[in-house]
Amino acid sequence: MSDELVQILEGNTFVVSDDRGDIEASATDPTGLFSFDTRFLSKWVLTVNGQRLTALSTDDLQYFQTRFFLVPGSGTVYVDAKLSVIREREVADGFHEDIRVLNHENVPVDLKIRIDAASDFADLFEVKDALAKKGQYQAQVTDSSLVLGYRRETYARETWISSSSPAVIDDKGLEFSVTVPPHGEWSTELEVVASTGALDGFSASTTGIRGEHRVHRDMARGLEKWLKHAPRLECDWEPLELIYRRCLTDLAALRFSTLTMPGRSLPAAGLPWFMTIFGRDSIFTSLQALPFTSELAATTLMALAERQGTRIDDFRDEDPGRILHEMRYGELTAFEERPHSPYYGSADATALFVVLLDEYERWTGDARLVLHLEQAARAALNWIDEYADLQGNGYVSYQRRNEQTGLENQCWKDSWDSISYRNGDLPGFPRATCELQGYAYDAKVRGARLARLIWKDPALADRLEKEAADLKRRFNSDFWVEDGEYFAVALEADGRQVDSLTSNNGHLLWSGIVEKSKARAVARHLLGPRLFSGWGVRTLAEGEARYNPIGYHVGTVWPFDNSFIAWGLRRYGFKDEAACIVAGIMEAAEVFAGRLPEAFGGYQRTTTRYPVRYPTACSPQAWSTGAPLLLLRAALGLEPHGDNLVVDPALPMRIGHLELLDVPGRWKRIDAFGRGRVDTDRMTRR
């Protein structure tokens, strides 16, 4: 068999199989049919006369649909195949599979076609950590279907398997004894439905499942409509058109509907393991996509407000006003063995929620949503002062209260060694990382704007502005590393600066907390040899003790990070510097055929020539998918100004002429044009 895994999905249901379409999961092997964070099929193997099949080719028709061309036998035996098999599969609330067997001979053939099916009903967390199950399995055979089940107390999940042609069904699968006429064909349709018991009633699309392909036609139409509604891009540099189209298609695949808003979509964090709401990822992706589609932002804001924290819950790290980190639906969450119902351990999502709300209003003029979410935004702003200031020193910091299954690092760089001193020492907890202060500052400034303009509460606006100014003043003195001329990545509980040089400085520009007099030094670092690799800004600067060009948050280049850094550079008027980031990341995207990975190696560009992919299970990932969109915004200098959209391009020379047509917003639709004039090669000395 091949190592290539094929994955298709719709919403939070997805199938990972081998290139034959077969699923043979082991406890730790991540293939299967998954829905609501549970594996509903761990075995799904097709045989013809007891023989496994071999793939001739596999076509990903759409992100929710794949076709497998197969022949019986393995290895080289199939050269003379007298039979071929075509499996076509599409995901809905489970999946639908057409199997066609073609006889290429002049004589009829008798065949035993069998599907072996089984399920371990593993929670996604169990798949990752290989944990043992606590409930009982059952299999039930009826005339027309096989029902695989799992039950633990009142928790029940079932997989329903049925076929359109008569089959002999046993508790391990379905068997068809058929005669295929000369040059004829036999076919059947298999239906696999993932049933979540109590949750089924909420899944609106379930009703469409047996409606003869209605589901997939709707999906295909949805994708078409999505692409048609996005602004049109035309450009002299062809790769950019490919990158743009790839982004839009991947973003469509990453759309996810919650149980409470079935008709609306928000961006899930990544495919396939993170097809769920993540506060931080959904917000960043919505921000990146705002100039292209505002629906993702609106749904994200509503979905996060709906589940905003309202109480003190140490297990979930929940506080009143806090915006969630991650939501899960699997067995471990159901039995409170994991805190994801939802889990709130994120120190940035709450401030970013207010940032997104304001940015959304600036683009769309949708005051109604801002009014509707007034209470949620006020509660979020209150959280920053009331619950996030763990040390009482006026800075946002984090420390998990759930010490077993909570998250240690609650900022976007969430790995254990991401926050360190120059010498590699790790700080204690609570930790006040610098970008959190930037987000809090921006939330206050933007909250003040909304309070004055839309909530008609000038007293709140005045207070927020005063607090923001005070925070900015203190921050620029407390976090500024004098001998390095940049901002420390964090403050220790005792006020000591965690003094390594990191990409977080770029986020500080984005949030506006950097005093003008310090901005040039920060920009110089971002484009300087220690941080800038030639492709983009490294997470941690070369020369720091923990620097590693293939370390997750300690040296790799993250496209998402860079897109916000570019926006930050623009904010402070460093147009040419922003263009350098745009050029580097877009050229990397070209190498990755339009789909940027989560991260790639921080090696010097002149050394490796090609960006080296960081191995990760998740692709596409939402905020990497959104990165080129935000970079386009930064390159064209798109900025809402009242009811107008300001266009102030600073494009890398290579891009040449660029048109972005029909940019939607409160101005209805506006076209943006630019011509590449910035010699980014010269600036970055390549």
Q: In terms of CB distance, is 77 or 371 closer to another protein?
A: 371
Q: In terms of CB distance, is 492 or 598 closer to another protein?
A: 492
**In angstroms, what is the minimal distance from the CB of 235 to another protein?**
42
CA 658, CA 238: separation in Å to the nearest integer?
A: 10
Q: In terms of CB distance, is 100 or 133 closer to another protein?
A: 133
Q: In terms of CB distance, is 40 or 535 closer to another protein?
A: 40
Query: Are 31 and 16 within 8 A, CB to CB?
Result: yes
Q: In terms of CB distance, is 11 or 342 closer to another protein?
A: 342
Q: Taking the CA atoms of the chain, what radius of gyration do you get in angstroms? A: 27
Question: In 3D, which of 606, 600, 614 has the Cα closest to residue 538?
Answer: 600
3-state secondary structure of 60: strand
How many CB atoms within 10 Å of residue 336? 12
**In angstroms, what is the minimal distance from the CB of 564 to another protein?**
27
Q: Strand 109-118 vs strand 94-103: parallel, antiparallel, or unpaired?
A: unpaired
Query: Are 647 and 636 within 8 A, CB to CB?
Result: yes
**In angstroms, what is the minimal distance from the CB of 160 to another protein?**
17
Query: Are 108 and 182 within 8 A, CB to CB?
Result: yes
**In angstroms, what is the minimal distance from the CB of 603 to another protein?**
19
Q: Is the dihedral of CA 304, 357, 506, 438 positive or negative?
A: negative
Question: In 3D, which of 424, 428, 435 has the Cα closest to residue 548?
Answer: 424
Tell me the CA distances in angstroms from 191 to 84, 97, 532, one per residue in order.
22, 6, 51
Q: Strand 53-62 vs strand 65-72: parallel, antiparallel, or unpaired?
A: antiparallel
**In angstroms, what is the minimal distance from the CB of 403 to another protein?**
8
Q: In terms of CB distance, is 271 or 334 closer to another protein?
A: 334
**In angstroms, what is the minimal distance from the CB of 19 to another protein?**
34
Question: In 3D, which of 378, 363, 341 has the Cα closest to residue 638?
Answer: 363
Q: In terms of CB distance, is 407 or 514 closer to another protein?
A: 407
**In angstroms, what is the minimal distance from the CB of 672 to another protein?**
36
**In angstroms, what is the minimal distance from the CB of 270 to another protein?**
22
Q: Order the strands of the 668-678 sheet from edge to edge.
A: 232-235, 657-665, 668-678, 651-652
Per-residue burial over 531-554, b = 16 or more CB atoms within 10 Å of its CB, e = otherwise: bbbbbbbbbbbbebebbbbbbbbb
**In angstroms, what is the minimal distance from the CB of 100 to another protein?**
38
**In angstroms, what is the minimal distance from the CB of 400 to another protein?**
7
Q: In terms of CB distance, is 383 or 486 closer to another protein?
A: 383
Per-residue burial over 575-593, b = 16 or more CB atoms within 10 Å of its CB, e = otherwise: bbbbbbbbbbbbbbbbebe
DSSP assignments along 252-292, one per residue: HHTEE--TT-TT--EE-SBTTTB-S-BHHHHHHHHHHHTTT
**In angstroms, what is the minimal distance from the CB of 259 to another protein?**
5
Q: In terms of CB distance, is 226 or 387 closer to another protein?
A: 387
DSSP assignments along 376-405, one per residue: HHHHHHHHHHHTS-TTSSSS--B--S-TTT
**In angstroms, what is the minimal distance from the CB of 204 to another protein?**
10
CA 393, CA 477: separation in Å to the nearest integer?
A: 14
**In angstroms, what is the minimal distance from the CB of 203 to another protein?**
10
Q: In terms of CB distance, is 546 or 575 closer to another protein?
A: 546
Contact residues toward another protein (CB under 8 A) are: 153-156, 197-199, 201-202, 259-261, 306-308, 310-316, 318-319, 329-330, 333-336, 341-342, 371-372, 374-375, 379, 387, 399-401, 403, 416-417, 420, 423-430, 492-493, 545-546
CA 604, CA 285: separation in Å to the nearest integer?
A: 28
CA 628, CA 534: separation in Å to the nearest integer?
A: 17
Q: In terms of CB distance, is 341 or 680 closer to another protein?
A: 341
Question: In 3D, which of 301, 287, 117, 278 has the Cα closest to residue 191?
Answer: 117
Q: Is the dihedral of CA 318, 322, 325, 326 positive or negative?
A: positive
Q: In terms of CB distance, is 176 or 395 closer to another protein?
A: 395
Query: Are 471 and 436 within 8 A, CB to CB?
Result: no
Q: Strand 43-48 vs strand 23-24: parallel, antiparallel, or unpaired?
A: antiparallel
Q: In terms of CB distance, is 164 or 423 closer to another protein?
A: 423
**In angstroms, what is the minimal distance from the CB of 39 to another protein?**
16
CA 162, CA 167: separation in Å to the nearest integer?
A: 9
Omega before residue 272 within 30° of 0, cis: yes
Q: In terms of CB distance, is 18 or 544 closer to another protein?
A: 544
Q: In terms of CB distance, is 300 or 341 closer to another protein?
A: 341
**In angstroms, what is the minimal distance from the CB of 624 to another protein?**
27
